[in-house]
Amino acid sequence: MNKITFLLLVFLSNITLYAQDFQGMAVYESKTSIGDDMMKMRGGKEMTPEIKKMIEERVKKMLEKTFILNFNATESVYQEEEKLDGPNQGNGMMKMMMSAVTGGQGKHYKNIKDKTLLIEKEIFGKEFLVSDTLPKIVWKMEGESRKIGNYTCYKATALVPVDKSNMMNYRPKEGVEEKLKDKTDEELGKTNFMDMVEAPKDKTITAWYAPEIPVSQGPENYWGLPGLILEVSDGKTTMLCSKVVLNVKDKKDIKAPKKGKKVTQAEFEEIMLKKMQELQQMYGGSGKGRSGMRIGG
């Protein structure tokens, strides 16, 4: 395909996409590699290699999820696919704990025209509505291309702030494994959570976008490229598009969510850090205060 033909196709696509009733849908498969960081929080104490491997595999499986992005020319909603749980998918408490660890991943709404971002999150039965300005992402075009499905995609990278409400972004501080290995459960419960972990200020993300789908949308909070983002990775979590449907017949409501206590991203991060300290005291200690959990005041 020569350059003139390519530009003509993009132009015609824009006419279609900006029609009043246009809507598209993309399916993303999300996978997360946990590495050894989570295990170091307990110093590997009383944990055989077999048990460690079993826990890692179980957590990895629970972090493999399917998400749906419904989008039009200016708005999008990104949320986990609803499905029935199969066998060995973990119990309710495990899922609740994983939800807390990942910052209560919920419905993401983006409006690129108004530059607004709204995220519905639920942590231990408490609903929040994170309301903030859509973060500006300064993309660097890398000049590389590859095929994802039938689409020619182009590579872009960016440095973005780390979401401190997602504990997957944290890592043990240097030397913490050695410091924790001889502590009793009660001593661990009294150890300040933030004395054990740290989060980098920012992280590098790599995205692959398709100019043939000229909407400035993508999974989660990612946006701002001249084409739909079909893959994005931060080195730990990768979201890869497995299906795209344009001009869908079964149109969905793409509208701003309203449920939950409204907080900013910074306020939600503070709430999550306090909650993780409570969980550390509760489950790292002797179980005291187990009935006194509260979220967000």
What is the pLDDT at residue 221?
92
Residue 7 lies in a domain: no
pTM here is: 0.79
Instruction: Give 10-residue mean pLDDT values along the chain (297 residues).
Output: 49 50 92 64 58 72 88 94 60 56 75 95 87 94 95 97 83 76 70 76 95 95 96 93 91 89 92 78 49 43
Can you give the residue range of the structural domain that contains 78?
Answer: 23-292
CA distances from 234 to 1, 79, 145, 162, 163 (A): 32, 19, 18, 10, 12
Q: Which two tokens stand for residue 226?
A: 């001249």
**To which H or E segment does residue 239 belong?**
strand 237-246
Do 22 and 247 touch, CB atoms closer than 8 A? yes
Neighbours of 47 (CB within 10 A): 14
Do 177 and 194 touch, CB atoms closer than 8 A? no
What is the pLDDT at residue 292?
41
What is the pLDDT at residue 44?
45
DSSP string, 148-159: ETTEEEEEEEEE
Dihedral angle of Cα 189, 41, 88, 102, to the nearest 10 degrees: 90
Do 206 and 137 touch, CB atoms closer than 8 A? no
What is the pLDDT at residue 254?
92
Residue 297 lies in a domain: no
Beta bridge partners of 238: 31, 233
Residue 211 lies in a domain: yes
Residue 9 lies in a domain: no
What is the pLDDT at residue 36?
57
What is the pLDDT at residue 276?
76
Per DSSP bridges, beta strands 151-161 and 171-172 are unpaired
Do 280 and 109 touch, CB atoms closer than 8 A? no
3-state helix, strand, coil in the chain (%, to 5): 30, 30, 40
What is the pLDDT at residue 118?
96
Q: Residue 292 and residue 133: Cα distance in Å, rounded?
A: 34
Q: How many domains does the chain have?
A: 1
Residue 143 lies in a domain: yes
What is the pLDDT at residue 101?
58
Neighbours of 78 (CB within 10 A): 25
Residue 141 lies in a domain: yes
CA distances from 274 to 180, 281, 294 (A): 21, 11, 10
What is the pLDDT at residue 103?
53
What is the pLDDT at residue 79?
93
Residue 66 lies in a domain: yes
What is the pLDDT at residue 57?
73
Residue 4 lies in a domain: no
Which of 249, 258, 212, 201 shows the shortest CA–CA distance to 77? 258
Q: Residue 111 and residue 254: Cα distance in Å, rounded?
A: 10
Q: Residue 30 and residue 231: Cα distance in Å, rounded?
A: 10
